[in-house]
Structure 1
């Protein structure tokens, strides 16, 4: 289990996140949003689903809610993720999801920090520059970098970021470049009507790691959030990035687990 910060400050951050982020439908980002009782159901432009649980269901009511979503996405022949937080009630929610056919994926750590504490100067290493981009050509260059890092197709990325840049919860995409080579890429989303912005991406080519590029991208995006009046930065972090984010001052306040249901034969 990922160790969490249970200080009063960390718990206050988590409470603000619950009120402002978990209790809002958010943006459809090119897809659709529906409320089904205590669930917010999002279907992305690619057809896959995301279920955000608001709490309050239990027993047979909860089982019926889970079953209805499986039926819905079964008819669509699309996969769906139930985003589970380890403090969600009831305590047997993971067992109920698993019994219905949802499979847990790798856990992530929810970290939150104050923008004012993260927005200090942290220049990139010599020879590297940071640049905010919007054009398709640059988003395609970012896609190529991501594919080089992860070794899997990222065909979806340029379309997703093109939509995100002009979304109701807009995004800013920031590239780190050495000459004409993209060595790292990231983005930040601003949640309209809240005090929160969130950090995404940050993949870096192997030969450029360990030089402070990721740290510089975090500080740059924190300054963008500060300019827009946001108070908090939030990240759903993998084990690879959790440590550096914690060292930068973000507090680990919760663990999330994506429970995935896929149609038979997928």
Structure 2
């Protein structure tokens, strides 16, 4: 557990979180970035032992940084449960950041997740890259997550695939309908790949489909020389990933500031 968490802190916090950002700056130990679409983001490997007064000052500076940039519509400060950060939650709330649901940070060896998982006989698993398949996948995920903006996300995914981005998309279908899906994204310069976007229609849960898609993505990770998998998981997916072989090493809670919110 300690070795996994140390690898997570060293490799997945800091520069690797800001790939694709249009602007990246430092405010003390905190890295702040602005991504396409007006999304701000703040993170760090650690806060360098800062006390409560210094943390309040950092939060004020970060909030002002985003507020002074009209193109930023919302910004996330990503916290982790194992960090030493006295007074951070209260300081974020004071500056207008609202806590979202905590998620479990899941980590594990990709090799432990590659076993075959049986699925119902009418379910077909396949890797996709075609535009119409991506649209169908994102439509299903939008339905599961209650996301009315699924088409914009689909367009971004289609553009990334067309540009040659190393992103692996898997779906499960029954009767031509997408019933589950997920993606794998290797993190350049690290031993990790993220497994994201896992969603299954309610009536298809509990049948091993999501675990089977996780195994397919783990196999794709090994083919790319990736050692570890990671995921920020809701309480829906955490038990499934634990059964697949990932371990909960900490939690992460996003605090989100919204312009005019």
TM-score normalised by L of structure 2? 0.89
- Tell me how large the CA RMSD over aligned residues is: 2.1
TM-superposed deviation, 1:103 = 1.5
Contact 2:106 2:247 (C-alpha < 8 Å) held by counterparts: yes
- Equivalent residue for 1:68, pick from 43, 61, 66: 61
* 1:144 is the counterpart of 2:139: yes
TM-superposed deviation, 1:169 = 7.1
* 1:235 is the counterpart of 2:238: no
Distance 1:114 1:162, change over 3 A: same
* 1:119 is the counterpart of 2:111: no
Distance 1:66 1:150 in 2: 30
2:98 aligns with 103
Runs of 5+ consecutive residues of structure 2 not aligned to the other structure: none
1:160 aligns with 156
2:177 aligns with 181
TM-superposed deviation, 1:222 = 0.3
Distance 2:12 2:163 in 1: 16
Runs of 5+ consecutive residues of structure 1 not aligned to the other structure: 1-9
TM-superposed deviation, 1:168 = 9.2
TM-score normalised by L of structure 1? 0.88
Distance 1:162 1:144 in 2: 13
Distance 1:206 1:74, change over 3 A: same
TM-superposed deviation, 1:34 = 3.2
TM-superposed deviation, 1:220 = 0.4
Q: Matched residue pairs, number?
A: 256
